[in-house]
Structure 1
């Protein structure tokens, strides 16, 4: 099974937006504290175009996956870079007080948290959540998703997208409603009323027996569009406020092994989007916005992990605090050694997660 291009670029787009918002958090607070920002770039790699405003170079680069913010003195303070920035001392990151450095580093993650909460809140207000009754989705409509060739439905003129309304006068509220009538009246004419783009049509047909399925069929695949209920501002706000804690609780359960198969890497993310795009339109938007919110909040929590990794703001904050406690800076060699250990651990975790993605994908495709 190959991935649809739409699922790949949509996953990359969501990740890129989350990363760019993260970098904008660093950019905004650095500028607020008077620190020189050399460049704010969308993407990596070779330059496509640029312009300069307020002393900052705004760039667009060819690898449109995330981006970066180049702040004066940040490499020197965090990675042991020895080259002095070409700017005034009071405009350099490493000359800030500890709490200002921590704010600059943490704001990227805070912006991710806010982005995730805003997206989640908007989804509840504008789209709502699927209505569930007795553990099952409440259907808003039953729609034909595909029509088998040389079937009674094909001969009767059914088309994908037809909304089923009635069968022999009985309302079709669930996909099982049609199946029940077909099985009860296997040799009788069925009168099915459909809605095709606002036009009511009557289709008549007789079901055929399928030896393979051992039942009577008319030759259509059905898709249930769930009923959605939008939340009030108050209710949406209440759910949104609890979202960070819900995410943390889920991560704790994951670490304790109480949640299986919840960790996913790039392949797993693309596969989830691939499956999501097969859902009814309203459910697609609901699922994508929920997933985007989860990506942004997860990026926030991941970046605040106190691990010695160059890409993790939490690790840098811990190093700055330790330097303050011991009243000395760690050498470039010490920082490099710590980052190397962290990088090996991160790459090992990435390989393990990707392996899990592949195994789950293969099992699903092969029906295992």
Structure 2
């Protein structure tokens, strides 16, 4: 229990640091361009302490669930004092305002990348896409009636070694079996299991696709019934080529840079896909509140993520803990750039709308239009705030009454 509580607290602390850095990103870039930053606070609610350095007040509030960076004149409708007016944010060039507004998300991406790099150099990066990259090529394939025999084969003289004989190498990525694409290692296993004899397998090696002919061998393997995991395994015949796939990719300090960059790109793709799927998964969250089995792919709140982080630490799964922390940073960073108010992406969209609109007016010989009236957008903003609040309430409730758990 102590490890679980420690994990929850540590994950929550990671979220607080992430939020603090998000607001620091806004503050640092605003100061860099000469904008006036009035206040930088971590948390909400009553003030724990604050101090003033230069023209900015820094402080900590009691509720560590966010923070804010108060920049003078974020919009032309904000009130500013006469001495603040020349340095009001809305007076600066569009690209500078865009940099300041996007800096919060940028800090999430940088923090996520740093976490991934540290993982790559220490414990490795999880093969979360199940990429069928060959980790090792076996010296033989033969019957195995237990997992121990399978993992540590004692090769008999003359035992076949299909992958080795065909010239497969560690690092090769299997892209197809008999012309059928194999994007994951599960696809490779499913395609090879029923086969026997010469089989066309293509691998990607150093950027090139290399065709190989592999003599698939049928061997005996123990298989458990997923519907009855306590029953003894059945011995069945399956096709085998004698390769293993990594659950974790290992890197050296230099190689880890490229590995973390590639992994970051994959996470951006997955994050965007999860955002597109977000609305259709909300009904499952509601159903789980009323007793339905919780789908592990449904959205989680900060509460749920912290609980999973706690369980990961309790079970010694630090790679999962750090992966979850990096994933959360990428999700928040991407989500915050959506062109919706009151998100930073919404402010960026308004800023560029003004720029494009004024450019079109100049082409037509007209004067620049006035600043966008944010009061006319208040109704839409309020609806989005209410919808966001409802989603947060639903996910928090589900994470309390029916949380997602890590299988032991």
Normalised TM-score (structure 1): 0.63
Residue 353 of structure 1 deviates from its aligned partner by 3.5
Instruction: Say yes or no: does 1:231 pair with 2:267.
Output: no
Name the residue aligned to 1:324.
Answer: 355
Name the residue aligned to 2:267.
Answer: 247
1:314-366 deviations in Å (ceiling 9; x for gaps): 0111112223333332324213122112212322333444455457528x69x
Q: Which moved more, 1:90-99 or 1:351-360?
A: 351-360
CA–CA separation in structure 2 for the residues paired with 1:18 and 1:24:
10
Give 5+ residue unaligned stretches, structure 1.
139-172, 178-212, 216-226
Counterpart contact for 2:251–2:259, Cα < 8 Å: no
List aligned pairs for 1:1-368, cutoff 5 A: 5-74=5-74, 76-77=75-76, 80-81=77-78, 83-129=79-125, 230-254=250-274, 255-256=276-277, 261-280=297-316, 283-284=317-318, 286-308=319-341, 310=342, 312-326=343-357, 327-354=369-396, 356-357=398-399, 360-361=402-403
CA–CA separation in structure 2 for the residues paired with 1:93 and 1:233:
41
Residue 103 of structure 1 deviates from its aligned partner by 0.9
CA–CA separation in structure 2 for the residues paired with 1:87 and 1:125:
50
CA–CA separation in structure 1 for the residues paired with 2:85 and 2:337:
28
Name the SS for the 1:231 alignment partner: coil
CA–CA separation in structure 2 for the residues paired with 1:33 and 1:248:
29
Name the SS for the 2:49 alignment partner: strand
Residue 214 of structure 1 deviates from its aligned partner by 11
Q: Which moved more, 1:290-299 or 1:3-12?
A: 3-12
Residue 43 of structure 1 deviates from its aligned partner by 2.2
Q: Residue 129 and residue 113 in structure 1: after superposition, are their counterparts in 2 closer, same or farther (change >3 A)? A: closer
Counterpart contact for 1:15–1:66, Cα < 8 Å: no
1:87-109 deviations in Å (ceiling 9; x for gaps): 34332111111111111101111
Name the SS for the 1:64 alignment partner: strand
Residue 52 of structure 1 deviates from its aligned partner by 1.9
How many residues are aligned here? 272
Name the SS for the 2:64 alignment partner: strand
Q: Which moved more, 1:319-328 or 1:336-345?
A: 319-328
Give 5+ residue unaligned stretches, structure 2.
136-146, 152-229, 233-246, 282-294, 358-368
Q: Residue 276 and residue 360 in structure 1: after superposition, are their counterparts in 2 closer, same or farther (change >3 A)? A: same
RMSD of equivalent CA atoms: 3.7
Q: Residue 329 and residue 337 in structure 1: after superposition, are their counterparts in 2 closer, same or farther (change >3 A)? A: farther
